[in-house]
């Protein structure tokens, strides 16, 4: 009986050591995977920041060439907010309620050139 308990105890210790070894291996593998993902996400974020910077510069050049810089900054901010809400799916009525200085018809008139461009892009993509 004592020999059986000693054998079971030895087997338990061996299994415990094997368990620790496998756990250590899986942790190191998970750390490597996490490090690779972190580096990958860092590269993607840097690429996106570069693209955003290029788009901002392109839009600044386009605005300057089209003399859009003549708009007062407050008007640009309001128009930008309205465009953002429109692109997120807000109706003209809800945009006019949020902005409070324009009627739904005025909002529609201000956003109509941008909606036409969006509709033209969609029709071009579907063809």
> Average model confidence (pLDDT) for the chain?
83
Question: Above 60 in pLDDT, residue 115?
Answer: yes
Please tell me the distance from the alpha carbon of residue 1 to that of residue 78, in angstroms, as a whole number. Answer: 87
**Which residue has 């009986």 as its token pair?**
1
Rg (CA), the chain: 31
Could you tell me the residue ranges of all domains in the chain?
Answer: 71-127
- Between residues 49 and 113, which one has the greater pLDDT? 49
Work out the pLDDT band at 13, boundaries 50, 70, 90.
Answer: very high
Work out the pLDDT band at 105, boundaries 50, 70, 90.
Answer: very high
Q: Which of 104, 70, 66 is nearest to 85 (CA)?
A: 104
Work out the pLDDT band at 78, boundaries 50, 70, 90.
Answer: confident
Q: Give the alpha-carbon dihedral of 71, 72, 74, 80, to 10 degrees.
A: 20
Q: Assign residue 102 a region: left if phi > 0, alpha if psi is -120 to 50, beta otherwise?
A: beta
Question: Above 60 in pLDDT, residue 124?
Answer: no
Q: What is the pTM of this model?
A: 0.45
């Amino acid at each position: 009986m004592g020999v059986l308990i000693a054998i079971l105890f030895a087997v338990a210790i061996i299994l415990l050591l094997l368990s620790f070894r496998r756990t250590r291996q899986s942790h190191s593998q998970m750390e490597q995977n996490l490090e690779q993902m972190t580096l990958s996400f860092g590269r993607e974020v840097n690429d996106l920041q570069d693209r955003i910077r290029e788009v901002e510069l392109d839009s600044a050049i386009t605005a300057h060439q089209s003399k859009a810089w003549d708009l007062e900054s407050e008007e640009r901010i309001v128009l930008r907010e309205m465009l953002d809400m429109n692109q997120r799916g807000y109706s003209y009525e809800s945009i006019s309620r949020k902005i409070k200085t324009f009627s739904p018809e005025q909002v529609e008139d201000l956003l109509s050139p941008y909606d036409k461009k969006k509709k033209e892009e969609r029709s071009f993509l579907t063809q």
